[in-house]
Amino acid sequence: MNIFLLAVGTKMPDWVTQGYNEYAQRLPAKCALVLKEIPAEKRLKNSNINAITEKESEKIKAAIPNNCRLVVLDVKGKSWSTEQLATRMQDWMMGGQDVALVIGGPDGLSNDILSIAQEKWSLSALTFPHPLVRVILAEQIYRAYTVTENHPYHRAG
Residue list for the binding site: 73, 104, 123-128
Binding annotation for S-adenosyl-L-methionine: 73, 104, 123-128
> Between vectors from CA 151 to CA 146 and to CA 155, what angle results, nearest 5°?
90
| CA–CA dist 99, 78 (Å, integer) | 17
How does DSSP classify residue 105? Answer: B
> Between vectors from CA 157 to CA 28 and to CA 137, what angle results, nearest 5°?
40
Q: Which amino acid, 67?
A: N
Contacts for 5 with CB less than 8 Å, ≥ 6 apart: 33, 34, 35, 36, 101, 103, 134, 137, 138
CB hemisphere CA count around 46 (13 angstroms):
0
In degrees and rounded to multiples of 5, residue 3 shows phi and psi of -110, 110
| CA–CA dist 111, 113 (Å, integer) | 6
